[in-house]
Structure formats: C-alpha cells, structure tokens
Structure 1
Amino acid sequence: MDNCSALHVLLMISIMPGWLGGDFIISKKQHEIRSSEISRRSHLRVRRGWIWSQIFVEEEDPTPRKIGQLKSDYDTGDFTIKYILSGEGASEIFKIDEYTGDIYLSQRLDRELKPFYILQAQAINRSSKQPVEPESEFIIKVQDINDNAPEFINEPYVSSIPEMCPTGTTVIQVTATDADDPMFGNNAKLIYSILEGEPYFSVEPKTGIIVTSWPNMDREARETYLVVVQVKDMLGLTGGYSATTTVTISLMDVNDNGPTFQHNLYTFAISESAPVGTTLGRIMADDGDVGLNAKMNYSLEDLEESSTFTIQTDPDTQEGIVILAQPLDYETKRRFVIAVEAINENIDTRFMSAYEFRDRTTIKITVTNVDEPPIFYETPYNWKVLESAQIGTQVGTVYAKDTDTTNNAIRYSILKSSDTRQMFKIDPSNGTVYVANLLDRETAAWYNLTINARENSDEQLSSSVSLRITLLDINDNVPTLSQDYQPYVCEDTQAGELIELISATDADDPVDGHHFYFSMIPDKHINPNFTIRDNQVLSTLMLAVRKYKTLRQEKMATQELETVEFSEKILSFAIPNTESTQTVPLRHPRRRERKLCREEVTTSIRMSLRHSHLIGPEDTVFQQFIMDRLAEADEDPYVPPFDCMHTYTFEGTGSVTGSLSSLESAIFDPCMIQTHDAGPHLLPLSPWLGAAADETSF
C-alpha cells in the first residue's frame, strides 16, 4: 500500500442561530490545503484509510441542498475516479455526484420518524473498475429541532377524594410526552402548571402530581371541581410548545351531617274506621350526606303511652312512614301527640364532636268521626220461655245503643225470614219481645230470630243480632201405647202366664225420663180372668189370674165364657198429672172339636208369649197350619204333655234378654228365686217366672 491514497470527506457545517439551518461548504482553497496535506503525508509513507466523521443534518431542512462530499487522495480532478453511495436512503433521500463526490439531500427529514441513516461509500477507477479505496461505512444523523408539542396521555383524567381531607392530599398525577429528542437541548424538557382550579388545587411542576391546597372542602357546598393543567416544553421558555388537559375531581361523601327535620310539628288526620295497617303519611328528615351516610332509622316516643301507631323507614327514600297499628275509636280517643326521632345508622366518630347525628320532631294525629251502626250490648241472646206462655207474654228485651256523639234513637224489628209463622213480636221503640202466637214445644222446640236495630237518621245505619228462644216443656201430652196391640191367648193358657208386653210413649220432654203407671180401669165389663202388672219399666204385663181352672175347663163347665174370648179389655196407664185409657182386644184362634180328652197334667212351662204380628187371623195359611198341628197333638195318645206345644217369639229388636228354654223352667222350681240376681239379661222377666202365686185379680 505504498501508493495508497486517502479518501477525504470534507464537511463544513454552518451553524445558524437557533440551529434552524446550516450549510456544508467545501471551498477550493480548503480543498487545495487538504490535498497538500494528504500529499505531504503520502511522502511520509503513512498508511492511509477511510477517516469518517458523523454528518449531521437538521430535520425539516429545506431541500435540495449539499450536505457533504466524498474525496479520495487519488482524485486528481481528471474524473477518473467514480464515487458510489449505497445504504439507507441512497439514491432517494441522499444523492452523490459520482465525479466530485458531493452528497445532496433531496427530501425533508423527520427525526421522529428516523433519527439516523447508515450508508456505504466506494471509490473505483472508471477504467479498470477496480476500487481505489475499500468500501467504508458512515452515518448521517438527523439533528432534532423543536417541531413537536407535548401531549397528555391516559386522558380523560377523573379522580375523587374524600371531603374534609387535609391540605396536601394527593389527588392524581397527569402525564405528558414530547416526541422531540429528550437528549438534545430543551426541546423535550416539560413543565406543568394549573390554569384553572386554584386556590383549591396545585400541581407539582416537574411530576404533574395534583394535590389539594384548600383545607376542609365540603361536598355539600361543592361536589365537583374542574382543574385545567398546562404542560410546556423548552422548560416553559418563549417559543416552546404547550398542551392542556382537564381533570375532573369529585369530593366523596363522609358522614359529616346528621338528620334534620324541616318542621317542629307535623299533623295528620285519619278516620276512625280505617283498618289496621293504614298509612297516615310520611315525614322525612333531611341529611346532606348520601348513600350509606344518609341512612337513618325513625322511632316513635308516644307521649301518651299507647302503641296505636308505628313508624317504618322507607329504604329507598329514607322517609318515615306512619302506620296505624291498632283500631281507632273516635268516642274513646280523638287526638294523639307523638314524638319522632331520626338517627343515622352509620356514624363517623371523627365528626362526633362537631355534629349531632339525630333530630326530633312532633306529630299530631286527629281521629275523624264516622257514623257507626248501633251496637247490641249482648250477642247473641239466648232466652227460654214455657211452651204454655200465653199470647202477649213478655219474653225479654234486647238493647242496642248508638255510640256516636249524636246518639240517635233506635228502632227494632224482627227479620221476617227468621220468623215466618210470626210466633213473636217486638216493640220497635224499646226492643221488648212478646209471644204473638200459641207455642207448642212438640211442634217446634226452639226459634232462632234475627233482630234488627236501625238508627233514626238520614243514613239509617243498622245492625243485627241473633236471638235464640228455647221452649220449656210442660206436661201437656197424655201417654199413648207404642203400637196397636192385638194379643192372642190360647184356651189352655195357665193362670199366671205372660200374655203380652205393653209399652207406652209420651210426646213431652222428660227431665229424668218418663215414669208410667199401668192399671185396669175399674169397670163392670172387665173380665176377672186377666190382670195387669207394672214392672217399673216402659212395659207392662197382661196376666191370666185364674189359678185352678184353665180356659178350656171353663168352656167345658159353662158356655157363658165363649164371649169372653173375644171381649175387649180396657187398660189404664198414666204418668203423674196425666192419664189416658186405651182398649186392647183379646182373641184366640178357633180350633176343631177334639175327639180325645187328655187328663190334666201340671205344666212346668208358664210363659205363652205371643205377638200379633206373628200370629193373627189375617194370616190364613199360618193359622190353618197351627190348627192342624194342634188337632194332631190332641188326637195322638202318645204325644208328650201339653206344655211341649208352646210358641215363642222375639221380645224386640236389640233385646238383651237372651234365650230361655221352656223345658228347663218349672213353676215351683226353687232355683227360680235366683233370677232376682240374674243381672240385666233376665231381670225384666224375673218377677213373672217365680211369683205366680202372688198374683191378684180384679
């Protein structure tokens, strides 16, 4: 490399005031001086190479213009060397004169888009195409100018702080950026200030932090503040750029206010007929706070010590709702005076010394009168009257009163639908009830009347009450036989045998049950062959009392008794104070003439109980059957004794007497006396099974 020459880039930068412009000027004289120096160095045989310095080009520099030159020591000015430029922006932004090596800027540069460019320079021999100098790299750096205004980021700015906060409380930090080069001059050096919002807020100039500068800001006085912040570059010097932003600052509520009633007295009116649960009205204590800090509870302090009203808090409106809790009566109490207290639910202890978080007021409630219907003093009424009460007899008096202050007169009446037969009447002026028709307990035992009471007023208000009248029984009905008795008796019936059980009924209502007394009516037509005995229950016994002759023997002895078999016997029975008579016919069925007489045999079977509904002349088939069987028995000498042919029937539905065998019964059996202790099954018949000898006849 003895003959190596150096490629020089001669760069002259003319700095204009403010770095607003500049030119690179390479003069001929300077070129000659530089060439001489290079030649001198070549004689000194110093190793040569590319020596580059950065080329600075101001952004936004007007174009086109020359910004520098490439030069080789071998360039003698004969244009044998060709200069070539390659790299970023070559041929488009940067152009080179291949003969002189001059570099030209063809476009405006923007440092914010690209701050520098890297290019490569070559010098070759035009003839041989061989490089005169090796390829070398150099940088063109775009120099910043203040061509960008600062910008706020993260907009919009919204913040909130508690009311009553101390001075210096941090609110928010605003941030701005500048696209200019922060490392070159003051183009990107920013400073903050407040245009609007003082004296309540201030901003730290370098950081953009906003703080409070006014103590005890009250949300109830002003809730929102708009603070305008300005940022400037060039440290705020003249000629710099600026930007502004608005910060919305809200004061958050704290419980620094208590409830306050606007009036010392509230009045309400309510009708005495209002139902329980009726709302009288609403009252409200104002609280400057909001949300949870404004929640309050209402309570009543009844100055008259009653619990007629209650108060509830509306969770949405924070109003106190006054509600009726008990029925009202204008005639009893017409006015109520009640104290109401409102107190905050959430109390901030920081402000307890400065504020009272409760308030009181008074409500006055007036009860209005409503005309009410009459009120009966007793409901329902229950009266009793004898069924023998005469027409016009006073039964009782109902009483109703108008409780209103007017105290109107009352008129009474009986609802017609409750007394269709008009058995009673009422005095319309005083409410006295009288008997209006003859009463009969056996027809109707009680009456349920509806009594109306109506005011003598324009509205004619009325009310009703139930009146129950019960008829008391008197002994005004005679007893009657329970059925139409038609007993039958066989001609061979022995003395003392039971023929029929007779019972009676009475339509009256006994207190302790009926007690009937049965007897034969003393009459000359009564046949002495029969008698009746009272067995102390509702039934009686009809007995044959002839002890030594049977009816069959009487017929054989005389013909006068033939009519006795079909004569009617008169019975008399009574209860105290009443007596009635009734005839009971006695009959026996006809039978054929017997061909064989049997000797008298003492029978051990004494009962011959028959009922007319089992054997009777109307039942021809059954009657003929009995006659045939009796005839066969009379004609057969080998038949058992008479007492084997007896007919038994039931005593009645539900009878508890049980069964009794005729074959095991004897007239004079000493065991018969034990039936007195036989219990309820045999007790009603026990007097008739062992006491035939004591019977008497009329």
Structure 2
Amino acid sequence: MDRRSVCVLMVLWAAAHLGSPADGFRALRRTTGGRKGSPGLTGQDANGVPLRRAKRGWMWNQFFLLEEYTGTDMQYVGKLHSDSDRGDGSVKYVLTGEGAGTLFKIDENSGDIHATKRLDREEKAFYILHAKAVDRQTNEALEGESEFIIKIHDINDNAPRFTRDPYSARVPEMSDIGTSVIQVTAIDADDATYGNSAKVVYSILQGQPYFSVDPETGLIKTALSGMDREVKENYLVVIQAKDMAGQMGGLSGTATVSVTLADVNDNPPRFTKTLYEFRVPESRELGGSVGVIRAVDADIGQNAEMDYRIIGSDGPGMFDIVSNRSTQDGVIVLRKPLDFEKKRQYSLRVQVENVHINPRFYKMGPFRDEASVRITVEDVDEPPLFERPSYVMEVREDAGRNAIIGSVSASDPDDKRSLVRYSIDRRTDMDRVFDIHAGNGSVYLLRELDREENAWHNISVIASEFNNPRLISRAPVYIRVLDVNDNAPTFATNYETFVCENAKANQRIQTVSATDPDEPIGGHRFIFSLAPEAAGKANFSVRDNKDNTAWILTRRNGYSSLQRSVHHVPVVISDGEIPTLSSTSTLTVRVCTCDREGNMKLCNPEALTARAGLSTGALVAILLCVIILLMIVVLFAALRRQRKKEPLIISKEDVRDNVVSYNDEGGGEEDTQAFDIGTLRNPEAIEDGKQRRDIVPETFYPPVRRPALPPSRDNNGDVRDFISQRLQDNDSDPTAPPYDSLATYAYEGNGSVAESLSSLESATTEGDQDYNYLSEWGPRFKKLADMYGGDDSDS
C-alpha cells in the first residue's frame, strides 16, 4: 500500500473517532510532524536524488460532506487553523473558490466552515476552494494560499429509471423457449463507484409464465414454447429495476413491455363448404363469372394468400378459376359457350393451397384443401342459329330478274323448335338489288347486274323466330358477280398521230393497244385489223403484233398536207371471246412537215385545231366571248368617266360648225398644259413643233408656217381673224381625227400658287365687273370672255 492510501485511511480513521475530517487532518498532522520547523519526510526520486518535503505551518487537502442534509442548523464542514494564530484575534481566515460565500461560509476568526444549503451530489459531486490566513491589521498573508476539495458523500436518493416506457416488441409465434424478445435498460443517478446505490437488478412482475428477464442485463426472453398467435396475439409484460443490488431498502422503478406475436404460416387454408352449387344461364358470355368459392386461413398477410385451381372436370376447358388477391376468393369463369340442349350440368373438383409455404410447419400436413363444385345450366330462349357463319354465292351478270342465286338456312336451337323467318338487312342493300324468300331463305335478284359496275355485293341476312321476332341473328352473304363478255374492246387511250410528208412506204407511225372492261378467265386476246370498207382506198395499213398491240404503217411514199391535212384510219378491234365482240375505233393522222430525222416541224392549222380537240365553231364562239368582254370593259370605263366629268359643252346648239370652245377656268400657271394662250396674245405667233394631245400621230409632219392675216377694220376683226386662223390650221392638219373641227380643252390643271384670277367668279357676283384695267383690246376680249369663259387675266 502506497503512502497516499495510508494517509487517506488515517484521515478517515481520525474523522471517525474525532468527529470531523478537519480533526482527522489535525491529528494526522500531529502524528506526522506537520508542525512548522519539524523534520520532514525524506526520500529519493527515480534518479536517486534525495527529496525533502517543504514544511508548512498548516495543511489540508479535502473535506467530506453528506448530501441531502436535513438538519435545522447549518451543516459543519470543518475547521481551518494556522500555527500563526495565537488566539488574540490578529489572524483572519479568508475562503475563496466554488461556492465560497454562498454555499460555504467561514468564520474569519475561528476558521470554522459551514454549508448553508442542502447539496445534491447528482448536481455537483465536489467543490474546489482556496483558503489563506492574513494579518488582520496589515492584511498581509501569514501563510501561503492553499487549495482544498469538499467532496459530497453519496446517499441512495435516486430510484432507477428506464430509458423508455413503454417498450414494444415482436416475436414470431411458435418460437422456442429462450428466444430473445427485447432488452430493457434502467439507469440510476447515484454514484456507481461508491456502495450499491447504483447497482440495478431486473425482475419480472407480470408476464409469467410466457416471458423471463435476465436480472443483470434486462434481456427479455420467451419462457414458454408453442405460443399461438391465433389463440392470443398480444401480451403485456411489467419489468422492475431495483438498486442496492436488490436488497431491502433499495429504490425501484418499473416499465411495461407490449409484446406482439408475429404471424407465421402455421395454418392451412380450409374451404367453407365441401360442395358448392351454382346455376348459370346458357347465354352467359365468355369470360363471365359463374360463381365464387371461398376458403379461410387463420393466418394473415402473405401467409394467408391462396391459389385456386381445378383438378377435375367432366367438361374439360369449359371453366377456369381466377384467384382474387384482395379478397382471397376463387372466381369461376366461363371459357367455352354453354348449350342447354347439349349438356345441362357440370361437376368440378377444386383445390386451394397456400402460396407461401413454411417448411418448418409443412411436416404438420399438406397446406391445401379440396371441395366439389356443381354447375347447372339454365335454358334461355335463343335466337335462330345459322348453319354457317357466312355464305358466298356466285351469279352471272346476265342473270335475269327473280333468278335464284343461293340460299341460307337457320334453325331455332331451343327445344321448342320455332319456325324461322328470313329477311334482308336493307342497310346493306340500299339499292334493293336482292331479296330473300321469308320461308325457305332463297336469295334472288330484283334487278339486272353489271359486273363492270360492281363485281361484289356484301349483304346481311336476318333470321328471326316467328313466335318471338325480337330474337334475331345475322349472317353475312358475299355475292360475286361472274363476268360475261358484254363489252367490246376499244383503244386504250386517245392517240395523237402524225405522218411526215416525206414518209416512206411501210413505215410505222403509231403503236396502238386496246382495253376491255370484261375480265375473261384466260386473259384478254385482242385482234386488230383495218376496217373492210377502208381497205381498198386506205393510205395506211394495220399489222397485228399478236401481243394485244398493233402497228399503224404507211402504204405509200410521201403525203401532202396541202392536198389532205388529216387522214382517218378505221381500226377494227375484236376480243376473241365467245360470243366475239368487236368495235371500230378511228385513228386520226395529221400530215406534218418534218426534218430528215422525222421530227415534226410544222403542221396544218386545221390539224393543230383537230389535235387540240376544238372545232372551228368552238374557236369562233370563244373569240366572240372575248370581244363581248372587251366591249363591256370599255363601256364601263366610259360610263365612269362620264359620271366623273361634266360635259364640256352644255349648250344644245349645233356644234357641227367650226367652233372652238374655251370654257375651262384654267389652273393658273399650270394651265399651259391645256392650250397655248400665247396665240391670243400674238395672232402672228407660229406654233413650232406643237402636236395634238388627243391622238398619237403615225407620222410627224413639219410645222406649216402661214402668213398672218391682215387686221380687219371693224371692231370684231381681230376675233374673226383669230377664228379663221384656227379653222385653217385644223382643216390643213394631217393628224386631225375624222370628225368635225371641234377642239376641246378639258384639262383643268392643278391650280396656281396665286390662286384663280378667272373672270368666271365675277359672273356669280351681283353687278357688272369693271374691266377698265384692260388694255386697248379690253372691250373686244371682254366680249370674247363673256362668250367662252376665258380668263382675261391671262390675256
């Protein structure tokens, strides 16, 4: 035993005999020479160097204090004393550290330490404090500061607590003894290193004899074999945890454990009946349900899943069983049609078996069961039944009306054997080509047939019972129309053939073929020949190639388009059937000019017209239509122009005289586009290069210069001279139009920046206009302005 352990034991012994740990330390200090100046203990370190303990005047290292003190006075911890204390009150003891001044208080005169509150070791197990002795007057330390520990002695004041409450666990049913279920754990807050206050022992208070618990580990196990979930599924187990190693006076806690037995497949399925009976009408559709059989299984979940199957039947393939996974039922379904008249009852042997088999329990017996099923077929009034699902008939296209082409047959499958009536579904024969005898089912024609129009006819025949017409059935009838040679062959297409003027004899100009709507069994065999009536004077010949084609050949050298631009070659085409039918097709050959290689260069217009397929009358009609349309367009344009512009001459006087009208107001400076006003200013002016605007001359003529007329002596001589000059110009103008010399000036112009200065505006105002501002020609031109509406400002 080392020195420290010896010191601790001596302190504890002293405390036990002297009443407090402090007294034990003081006694220990006296026994070991702990006074100041006394010789100390010596020793050596690991290197052999002598050790010497420094002497102190006072020492301690720890005090002990019981937790949960219940006394009325403060609990005494211990006493501090220094050798420097002479008892005259000059020494003051000071305490610092954890809890100093609050949990622990020291008497500064005597050095006694007390605990002021109840302490709990589970909250804090020890406290570290510092103590020193100082001079009361100078407050100087008499001893060096020392550290000591106050440890809280544990008492058994905490009961064990389980980590969970309640617990839940599952264990398979039928488990062997000792199968682990769950482990529980309890924790005690007391000091596990001191005494037995924290040593927990487990025991079972409820749950015997089914379960047991390990007292040290808390592991719960099964204690009984053969626990059956179907008998009892849930168990409640109560476990106790007690400290002090289970001794008297220990504290305890409990927890509940809910144990559920998990299902295993230890039960076979069982039918609820040994014999199942069902009745089903013979009209039940395929795939329809006949009946439901049910088996029960005490297990649950996938352990209760079952499969049904038929293991024996007197109607193989008639029925089947489908397992319903949601309800675990077996549904018997129909796989073949039922017939009351053929078989009225069926017997089945069915079996049910678990899907998931547990080999551990298979030794208890097969996990399956068997039962019998009896199915009775009920009679139903059924519609007539045709002997065949469909019929195919053939008829020649030359068959006459009311000709019978075939028959259908249906009978009542019921025992009463009702008579059957036949009819045609008119929705399939809207043209009413066929009909049927209501009593015997013979199909006949209502009108003649044409194979080339329709080679097949698909109709539907209805059979109904006389006693119950609502019960009907249908059968399709496919009628094929057989071909008869009733169509003559013709050209396969419209041939456009030409012959060159420089053609040689026996030269091929066209290859022709034929077509025939008929369809002979061996295929077509066409024969081509030239019509007999054209054989003597024909310019062309026909050569049959024996392959349903023929060549058109020239019979002479050279053809003239001037003599004859178009030739017609009649070709006879026979089909070679019995009876033989033939037709004459005319081939039109036009004569064209060709080059040396035989390429067409030019053809007669008549031939071109014939090629285009238009006659002369058709071309004339088209030309007339075009002319009429043009006239309508011109008339429409003229009417629009007439509505837009007022007539320039509104006077009803005869305008056949040589009159030039100037009733245009003018557009100011831009009015020069209408007429040359310079002539009025100077009658002797010459219009160089001036051309008419109303026509486009074919030939430009040089302007003609004429001498000016001598002025007249009367007052109106200048006006007369001007008019005469204009008349002469118009009469001698080679570009004038072929109508009277009526010159119109219908161009108004676009207006002038200075606005209009026309005298027409003055005519609308009251009073006479003052023309004194005019020149010496004023009175004459005033009269002219009044007559023609001229603009005197321009003159």
Q: TM-score range by the shorter chain?
A: 0.5 to 0.7
2:553 aligns with 659
CA distance, structure 1, for counterparts of residue 383 and residue 149 of structure 2: 114
Does 2:139 correspond to 1:114? Answer: no
Aligned-pair identity (%)? 41
Q: Pick the aligned partner of 1:60 from 63, 68, 75.
A: 68
CA distance, structure 2, for counterparts of residue 390 and residue 183 of structure 1: 125
2:543–2:550 contact (8 Å) kept in structure 1: no
One-letter identity of the residue aligned with 1:380 = Y
Q: Pick the aligned partner of 1:380 from 385, 391, 405.
A: 391
1:12–1:68 contact (8 Å) kept in structure 2: no
Kindly tell me: are residues 38 and 254 of structure 1, through their superposed partners in 2, closer, same or farther at Cα, counting changes over 3 Å?
A: closer
Counterparts of 1:456-495 in structure 2, within 5 Å, are: 456-458=466-468, 460-465=470-475
Q: CA deviation at 1:328?
A: 2.8
2:527–2:544 contact (8 Å) kept in structure 1: no
Q: Pick the aligned partner of 2:149 from 122, 139, 143.
A: 139
Does 2:87 correspond to 1:77? Answer: yes
CA distance, structure 2, for counterparts of residue 382 and residue 144 of structure 1: 116
Kindly tell me: are residues 472 and 67 of structure 1, through their superposed partners in 2, closer, same or farther at Cα, counting changes over 3 Å?
A: closer
One-letter identity of the residue aligned with 2:119 = L
Q: Please give the secondary structure, in 1, of the residue aligned with 2:145.
A: strand
Q: Please give the secondary structure, in 1, of the residue aligned with 2:284.
A: coil
2:360 aligns with 350
CA distance, structure 1, for counterparts of residue 138 and residue 480 of structure 2: 155
Encode CA deviations 1:93-115: one digit per residue, 9 max, x unaligned: 11111111111111211111111
CA distance, structure 2, for counterparts of residue 77 and residue 366 of structure 1: 124
CA distance, structure 2, for counterparts of residue 395 and residue 337 of structure 1: 48
2:260 aligns with 250
CA distance, structure 1, for counterparts of residue 344 and residue 367 of structure 2: 34
Q: Please give the secondary structure, in 2, of the residue aligned with 1:71.
A: coil
1:609–1:649 contact (8 Å) kept in structure 2: no
Counterparts of 1:380-419 in structure 2, within 5 Å, are: 380=391, 382=393, 398-413=408-423
Q: CA deviation at 1:377?
A: 2.4
Segment drifting more, 217-226 vs 144-153: 217-226
Q: CA deviation at 1:156?
A: 4.7
Q: Please give the secondary structure, in 2, of the residue aligned with 1:659.
A: strand
Does 2:310 correspond to 1:300? Answer: yes
Size of the aligned set, in residue pairs, is 503
Q: CA deviation at 1:213?
A: 0.5
1:257–1:355 contact (8 Å) kept in structure 2: no
Encode CA deviations 1:649-685: one digit per residue, 9 max, x unaligned: 668998625536468xxxxxxxxxxxxxxxx9xxxxx
Encode CA deviations 1:4-26: one digit per residue, 9 max, x unaligned: xxxxx9999689xxxxxx98599
CA distance, structure 2, for counterparts of residue 90 and residue 96 of structure 1: 8
- TM-score, length-normalised on structure 2? 0.53
2:173–2:262 contact (8 Å) kept in structure 1: yes
CA distance, structure 2, for counterparts of residue 174 and residue 406 of structure 1: 83
Q: Pick the aligned partner of 2:176 from 166, 170, 178.
A: 166
One-letter identity of the residue aligned with 1:186 = N
1:690 aligns with none
Counterparts of 1:75-224 in structure 2, within 5 Å, are: 75-154=85-164, 156-224=166-234
- TM-score, length-normalised on structure 1? 0.60
Kindly tell me: are residues 96 and 10 of structure 1, through their superposed partners in 2, closer, same or farther at Cα, counting changes over 3 Å?
A: farther
One-letter identity of the residue aligned with 1:608 = G
Kindly tell me: are residues 69 and 12 of structure 1, through their superposed partners in 2, closer, same or farther at Cα, counting changes over 3 Å?
A: farther
Encode CA deviations 1:225-270: one digit per residue, 9 max, x unaligned: 2211111122334443221112222223322222222221233344
Q: Pick the aligned partner of 1:365 from 353, 372, 375.
A: 375
Q: CA RMSD in A?
A: 5.1
Q: Pick the aligned partner of 1:236 from 228, 246, 271.
A: 246
Q: CA deviation at 1:276?
A: 2.6
Kindly tell me: are residues 401 and 134 of structure 1, through their superposed partners in 2, closer, same or farther at Cα, counting changes over 3 Å?
A: same
Kindly tell me: are residues 236 and 412 of structure 1, through their superposed partners in 2, closer, same or farther at Cα, counting changes over 3 Å?
A: same
CA distance, structure 1, for counterparts of residue 337 and residue 225 of structure 2: 56
CA distance, structure 1, for counterparts of residue 37 and residue 518 of structure 2: 173
1:412–1:429 contact (8 Å) kept in structure 2: yes
Q: Please give the secondary structure, in 2, of the residue aligned with 1:343.
A: strand
Kindly tell me: are residues 354 and 226 of structure 1, through their superposed partners in 2, closer, same or farther at Cα, counting changes over 3 Å?
A: same
CA distance, structure 1, for counterparts of residue 398 and residue 223 of structure 2: 105
CA distance, structure 2, for counterparts of residue 130 and residue 53 of structure 1: 23
One-letter identity of the residue aligned with 2:314 = E
Q: CA deviation at 1:187?
A: 1.7
Q: Please give the secondary structure, in 2, of the residue aligned with 1:351.
A: helix
Q: CA deviation at 1:87?
A: 2.3
Q: CA deviation at 1:359?
A: 1.5
One-letter identity of the residue aligned with 2:169 = S
2:384–2:465 contact (8 Å) kept in structure 1: yes
CA distance, structure 2, for counterparts of residue 468 and residue 204 of structure 1: 92
2:162–2:185 contact (8 Å) kept in structure 1: yes
2:35–2:57 contact (8 Å) kept in structure 1: no
Q: Please give the secondary structure, in 2, of the residue aligned with 1:189.
A: coil
One-letter identity of the residue aligned with 1:59 = E
Encode CA deviations 1:200-247: one digit per residue, 9 max, x unaligned: 001112221111111121222222322111111223344432211122
Does 2:330 correspond to 1:320? Answer: yes
Q: CA deviation at 1:177?
A: 0.9
2:567 aligns with none
Kindly tell me: are residues 346 and 540 of structure 1, through their superposed partners in 2, closer, same or farther at Cα, counting changes over 3 Å?
A: same
Kindly tell me: are residues 75 and 651 of structure 1, through their superposed partners in 2, closer, same or farther at Cα, counting changes over 3 Å?
A: closer
Kindly tell me: are residues 74 and 45 of structure 1, through their superposed partners in 2, closer, same or farther at Cα, counting changes over 3 Å?
A: farther
2:25–2:60 contact (8 Å) kept in structure 1: no
1:387–1:441 contact (8 Å) kept in structure 2: no
CA distance, structure 2, for counterparts of residue 10 and residue 234 of structure 1: 24
2:170–2:261 contact (8 Å) kept in structure 1: yes
Encode CA deviations 1:271-314: one digit per residue, 9 max, x unaligned: 43333332334434323333443333322224215112222333
CA distance, structure 1, for counterparts of residue 452 and residue 96 of structure 2: 142
Identify unmatched segments of 5+ residues in structure 2. 1-10, 41-54, 492-516, 558-573, 575-795
Kindly tell me: are residues 259 and 425 of structure 1, through their superposed partners in 2, closer, same or farther at Cα, counting changes over 3 Å?
A: closer
Encode CA deviations 1:536-580: one digit per residue, 9 max, x unaligned: 9898986xxxxxxxxxxxxxxxxxxxxxxxxxxxxxxxxxxxxxx
CA distance, structure 2, for counterparts of residue 252 and residue 320 of structure 1: 27
1:119–1:139 contact (8 Å) kept in structure 2: yes
Q: Please give the secondary structure, in 1, of the residue aligned with 2:553.
A: coil
CA distance, structure 1, for counterparts of residue 520 and residue 35 of structure 2: 167
CA distance, structure 2, for counterparts of residue 197 and residue 427 of structure 1: 92
Q: CA deviation at 1:322?
A: 2.6
CA distance, structure 1, for counterparts of residue 446 and residue 29 of structure 2: 162
1:385–1:395 contact (8 Å) kept in structure 2: no
CA distance, structure 1, for counterparts of residue 537 and residue 397 of structure 2: 43
Q: CA deviation at 1:340?
A: 1.8
Q: CA deviation at 1:423?
A: 8.6
Kindly tell me: are residues 111 and 655 of structure 1, through their superposed partners in 2, closer, same or farther at Cα, counting changes over 3 Å?
A: closer
CA distance, structure 2, for counterparts of residue 57 and residue 89 of structure 1: 14
CA distance, structure 1, for counterparts of residue 520 and residue 32 of structure 2: 165
Q: CA deviation at 1:448?
A: 7.5
